[in-house]
Structure 1
Amino acid sequence: MKAWLLKGGHSMAFNPAVFKAYDIRGRYPDDIDEDFAYKLGFAYADLRQKEENKDHLTVLVSRDMRLSSPSLHQSLIAGLIDSGVDVIDIGLASTPTMYFAAAFYQCDGGIQVSASHNPKDDNGFKIVRTRSVPVSEDTGMYQLRDLCATITPQKSAQPGKLTHKEGVLDDLYQSELAETNVDPSIIKPFKIVIDAGNSMGALDTAKIFEKLPCTLIKLNFDLDGSFPAHQPDPLVDANLQPTIDKVIAEHADLGIVPDGDGDRYFFVDDQGQIIRQEILRGIMAQIALKEKPGSTVAYDIRPGKITLDMILEAKGKPLVTRVGHSLIKESMIKNDAVFGGESSGHYFYKFSYGTFEAPFVFVLKFLQYVSAQNKPVSEIIKPLKKYFHSGEINSIVADKVGKIAELTAKYQDAKNISTLDGVTIEYNNFWFNVRPSNTENKLRLNLEAVDQPTMEAKRDEVLNLIRS
């Protein structure tokens, strides 16, 4: 790997830009290779030993199915062991399974080798502490970057021990369901299309439906890091099209599409329509609030007013957070929230041992809810389609801070203005959020309105201001 120059003339043996706000991601082997993974093991051990003020740590490690993941996984484990850390290796697993295992087995942290939904030539690492609390931009990610730049790996006189653990999904199934009032026995025999995208969601969904009376139509369940069918990113509508087509052709009740590392889920209804995340989030919030009345429910600031409407209708306490799965989890922990949802398809639950994504609970609770309604999914969500959304629109902007200030001044007569994440402007008939990209000269617009004409007019108006 080549050396990378930082401001001030210092050099690093790796590209520092791989350290993102919520994880580590870059191209393999240009940005991330086995030497990097080995050094990361030492850096993480150093960070956690200082934080916990203890010499001996146990860290849980897992990986996805990417072509470069096996070698990066082995190098990471070697770095941890050589630094004196005991490692529990659960092998191939989704990111939520790693979160569960690191927390449930009371480890000092966990690392998943994965680049989520990124292209096949990328790879990376998702990193947590005790109870699977995220390591993110504000809580150690950049410290980890600096440690990787300065640390000189030296083998410990007492290397760690490696343990391979099996049966994790059985423990997850029993524990998460026991803590969240899931009753699979009342789920009806639905016909369901699942497109696993040749990715880690294949393992989780197979386990979720193992004991259910449902008929499954499986698409792309063979783990294959070359992604022969399509990119494992359900945020891109084209990647949902095979599921949409199959749901319609098979007259299925539902379509389910997880992302590459299995921490985001998208649903397609019986009419082949993508169910918007804010509607799903609102339904799941009401389910959580029925079980735990008056509790706090978290969601990100991107417009999705139906979520707020449904939380208030169920007499819950809404908690608006910045965008980012790590930031939502951190806010949930701080405010004792029982459930949270992000607009990109992350769904979080609070357990006695941690707060993190739990697709087993999310999918089973939704199926339980639909089973009790006695009507098609499309009929359940129809009355919830009250608002009209622009989708997320990116614009290249040289001065992100200046442009946000311009927008704030332009709409200063708004009913509400928030600067929690970029700027959020609210009027009675439309509302929008504009926030800066963490890594690029881009502003991201999400706008919602009470009707389609208003949405289109205000979307174009705000975009013209952003791009002028």
Structure 2
Amino acid sequence: MAGKRKARRKNTRVKGQSIKIISVYAFMCFVVTLFFSNYISQYGLLYEAKDFRQKFLSTKAAITATLFQTKMSNYVHQLSIIAKDDALKKLLVSRKWQQIKLLEKSFLNKLPNITSIKFLPEGYAALNNKLRPSITYSCLDLVHKAEKNKTQSLFELHGLKTTQSHIGIVYPIIEKTSKKILGTIRLTLKVSLLGKWLAEVSKGSYVELVQNAGNNKLVEIAKSKTSKNRVGEAINDVKIPGSRWHLKIWLAASESEPSILNMFTFIVIIVSIIIAGLTIYLITTSFGRTIKLDLDTFMQLVAAVAKGKKNHDYKLHLKEFKEAALNVNNLASYEVMGRERDDESENIDSSSVLDDETANPLFIAEDSMTLEVLDSDAEILKNIDSKLSSSSAKMITTQGNSVNEKQATKSETTDTPADFSVSLNDETACLPKEIFKAYDIRGIVGTTLTKENIQLIGRAIGSQAISQGQSKIAFARDGRLSGPELGAALVKGLRSAGMNVIDIGMVPTPLLYFVATTATNGTGVMLTGSHNPPNYNGVKMMIGGDTLSGDAIQALHQRIIDKDFVSGEGTYDTATVNDTYLKRVTDDVKISRKLRVVIDCGNGVAGVIAPDLYRKMGCDVIELFCDVDGKFPNHHPDPSQPKNLTHLIEAVKTQKADIGFAFDGDGDRLGVVSGDGNVIWPDRLMMLFATDVLTREAGAKIIFDVKCTSNLTKHIWEKGGEPLMWKTGHSFIKAKLKESGAMLAGEMSGHIFFKERWYGFDDALYSGARLLEILSKDTRKPKVVLAAIPDMVNTPEIHLKMNEGEHHLFMEKLYDSADFGSANILMIDGIRADFEDGWGLVRASNTTPTLVFRFEGKDQAALTRIQGQFKQQVLAINPNLKIPF
């Protein structure tokens, strides 16, 4: 028993606050009080110092910016002198190029640190990659703004981190009396000037020069050589007048921000803390010893009193212990206290002391308690696991045909759905890669495109859509004879991947886009051969609002090869959307007067809705080949070819119509014939559309492809828009429109994309409606309005047929060997050579194995010359080709 009590005493721990802990608390309170007192005492002074400093820094930043502007002003002054030169003005008016070049060379040697100077007659600025530095779109922007505003452009840095990096400025040359713009001076300076200027104006501070790149995005273009002062955020950001530049300034070490914790205050606080710490330590140590001495003495006194000793003399130091000692002495006078304590000691019942320590909760073994907790947790975890399993099973069984990505599982070769009859091992070997084009899938029915491989394509599209979190997909087809059979196979493939299909039937592609955009989260698939011959068919796809093109289409092919499918049981529903689409268009587009319209659908699928649309708008409609016939018995449904427009031209003239519309096989491309029988090519239509859109969306970007007239660029600038040339292809154009935020886009082939008031997809039906709206609001006759659109001598698209894949190889050779002299070469899609009097283009078609040419000149002689140069370059690679021009 004694042993157990001893053990219990050993395990007893005395809790309470020691003098050391109390001293630590006291020390911490002192430190906090010290900091707070310092803050209060210096706050007023600090506020005044910061206010003074901010004013000083603002003044310094303004002076720095002014000094930087002064460096720039020297060049502006030189340009203003040159611009007043009467000899230069006469040369620009007379277009004496040789003398202009000589004058450029003379000024080049007179001005320091310049890399080029170019005198550009009004309206003659054009892209030029052969100049160093090149004339780029950014440079053209400066030129157009200088011409339009009749004032110098802003200083800008072009070609950052490239071999052609330079500072650019454009200065207008103005006729003194008439104030007419005669031309501009384009001056380029060395980029190294920026670093030199920064060093001269920074004076010890760290300075960065940044340029506004649009959308409030600032790009660093120069900085001080040393960054040791670049700590934290810039203390000032000041714009440099006359440029797109900002100066961001950091303090020099000697100009650091005033702070409560400055060096002097810091030293005072540290010294105070050290002194306070030592003082508290010494006091605590001395006081602790005194307490221990008094405590020992006090315990001796208590022991003596307990024994009944009345006479005692114990020396105490602290007042508190002395008072306690008096209380103990007073207790000693009661003799009964000793007797009662003895009685209690003798009457202790030993049986009240527990021998079994395990019965006392204070002595429960640790391993026993641990085991109980683990058992409890295991039971809880088991219950949770059971509920999760039940929930998962319930989810799988109740979801039915609604399959999402988490439910979809990887399918092995032998794990195909019961209704999926294609053998992957056999069919993937027969899936030709060449049908996976740049912006759609297209092949010959029964040869490169069969119901077996289109089922695989459907499954790949469905799997990709599932992986992107989609569950619904809209499906439609055009009027081709192969449509029903291939469509059934395509839908089967989509459903086998778990996609819920909404079949809207035989309708134009724009209706498929409309339903996908408004009802299926931008996910849809269109079975169409577009403008290809009757024995072709294909697939256009969009997932999550993005039209598939390029690598995304090739990824579908790779998914099929890798058998990377998901499995599910998608639902199938049908819907009729024609009336919904018609109402949406007619609610948006209104015509001001009745127009007579001839519609040639070329027996394509546009015939199911185009006549109804324009009649509902209030037009007098004359139908031409609007019965859907997949054999296309009257002419090929391709409005980009003049031979396919002969019937329409004749009908417009005979019926004395205001205008004629032609649609391609799936209704997403528009051809237009004016009332006098002239073809109005889409690039000219884009000028009319751009003018209309820019009246409501000033400064908007307008996108067009490389096949469009050079007049379009100039027209967009003049109307206050921003022209952007891009590669051909409806998928590429749509992606660029989405990326750039453009309000309008168009291709020479007839794809027109309205983002303003519409959805941004190519819709020939809606484009025709917008054209009728524009023409009806003009008091002139439609043919007069259309004839007034700027034009040059040009050709339609000219096609040179080749074997499958040969056209791409041919272009690779042409890229290496082509030489068009002084022309500006653009190669974003094929080769476009821009001359002073026109341009030519050759590119590989992305849909058929053909080379596509187009030419334009200021007159027939220029056009013929440019065609001759292209013909020479093409025949140099293959002399046996029969060039169709």
* Counterpart check, 1:95 vs 2:509: yes
Q: Is the 8 A contact 2:473 2:523 kept in 1?
A: yes
Where do 1:90-239 residues align within 5 Å? 90-107=504-521, 109-131=523-545, 133-138=546-551, 140-151=552-563, 156=568, 159-166=569-576, 168-175=577-584, 182-184=589-591, 186=592, 188-239=593-644
Name which of 450, 454, 460 aligns with 1:43: 460
Change (3 A) 1:27 1:375: same
Where do 1:287-298 residues align within 5 Å? 287-298=692-703
Structure in which a larger fraction of residues adopt strand:
1
Change (3 A) 1:436 1:79: closer
Name which of 12, 15, 20 aligns with 2:429: 12
Deviation at 1:373, TM superposition (A): 1.9
Q: Is the 8 A contact 1:83 1:154 kept in 2?
A: yes
Counterpart amino acid of 1:20?
Answer: K
TM-score by length of 1: 0.89
RCO higher in structure (CA 8 A, sep ≥6): 1
Q: Is the 8 A contact 2:663 2:764 kept in 1?
A: no
Q: Is the 8 A contact 1:332 1:340 kept in 2?
A: yes
Structure 2, gaps ≥5 residues long: 1-422, 877-885
Deviation at 1:345, TM superposition (A): 0.4
CA distance in structure 1 between the partners assigned to 2:602 and 2:852 by the alignment: 27
Change (3 A) 1:440 1:284: closer
Q: Is the 8 A contact 2:471 2:499 kept in 1?
A: yes
Question: What residue in structure 2 maps to residue 76 of structure 1?
Answer: 490
Q: Is the 8 A contact 2:608 2:628 kept in 1?
A: no
Q: Is the 8 A contact 2:526 2:541 kept in 1?
A: yes
Name which of 424, 429, 432 aligns with 2:832: 424
CA distance in structure 2 between the partners assigned to 1:115 and 1:57 by the alignment: 26
Question: What residue in structure 2 maps to residue 318 of structure 1?
Answer: 723
Where do 1:297-336 residues align within 5 Å? 297-336=702-741
Question: What residue in structure 1 maps to residue 854 of structure 2?
Answer: 446
CA distance in structure 2 between the partners assigned to 1:93 and 1:153 by the alignment: 29
1:224-255 CA-to-partner distances (Å, cap 9, x unmatched) read 11212222112222221111111111111111
* Counterpart check, 1:58 vs 2:482: no
CA distance in structure 2 between the partners assigned to 1:441 and 1:240 by the alignment: 23
CA distance in structure 2 between the partners assigned to 1:439 and 1:341 by the alignment: 18
Counterpart amino acid of 1:247?
Answer: V
Q: CA RMSD in A?
A: 2.4
Counterpart amino acid of 1:59?
Answer: I
Question: What residue in structure 1 maps to residue 51 of structure 2?
Answer: none
1:41-74 CA-to-partner distances (Å, cap 9, x unmatched) read 2111222222x2x3x6111111111111011111
CA distance in structure 2 between the partners assigned to 1:221 and 1:443 by the alignment: 31
CA distance in structure 2 between the partners assigned to 1:353 and 1:384 by the alignment: 24
Q: Is the 8 A contact 1:392 1:444 kept in 2?
A: yes
Deviation at 1:420, TM superposition (A): 1.6
* Counterpart check, 1:27 vs 2:432: no
* Counterpart check, 1:371 vs 2:776: yes
CA distance in structure 1 between the partners assigned to 2:478 and 2:648 by the alignment: 22
1:284-311 CA-to-partner distances (Å, cap 9, x unmatched) read 1111111211111100012412222221
Structure in which a larger fraction of residues adopt helix:
2
Moved more, 210-219 or 168-177: 168-177
Change (3 A) 1:303 1:257: closer
**Secondary structure of the structure 2 residue equivalent to 1:246:** helix
Write out the 4+ residue segments of structure 1 that deviate beyond 6 Å after TM superposition. Answer: none
Q: Is the 8 A contact 1:298 1:320 kept in 2?
A: yes
Q: Is the 8 A contact 1:38 1:78 kept in 2?
A: yes
CA distance in structure 2 between the partners assigned to 1:241 and 1:389 by the alignment: 18
Change (3 A) 1:314 1:323: same
Number of matched pairs: 445
Question: What residue in structure 1 maps to residue 688 of structure 2?
Answer: 283
Q: Is the 8 A contact 2:708 2:747 kept in 1?
A: no
Counterpart amino acid of 1:451?
Answer: D
Change (3 A) 1:78 1:438: closer
Change (3 A) 1:60 1:432: same
Identity over the aligned pairs, expressed in percent? 28
CA distance in structure 1 between the partners assigned to 2:607 and 2:770 by the alignment: 19
Q: Is the 8 A contact 1:104 1:353 kept in 2?
A: no
Deviation at 1:153, TM superposition (A): 6.9
Higher gyration radius (CA): 2
CA distance in structure 2 between the partners assigned to 1:213 and 1:43 by the alignment: 44
**Secondary structure of the structure 1 residue equivalent to 2:532:** coil
Change (3 A) 1:259 1:338: same
CA distance in structure 1 between the partners assigned to 2:669 and 2:758 by the alignment: 21
Question: What residue in structure 2 maps to residue 464 of structure 1?
Answer: 872
Question: What residue in structure 2 maps to residue 406 of structure 1?
Answer: 817
1:388-427 CA-to-partner distances (Å, cap 9, x unmatched) read 11333345676422323333x442x33x332222232222
CA distance in structure 1 between the partners assigned to 2:500 and 2:626 by the alignment: 33
Structure 1, gaps ≥5 residues long: 4-9
CA distance in structure 2 between the partners assigned to 1:373 and 1:345 by the alignment: 23
Counterpart amino acid of 1:183?
Answer: K
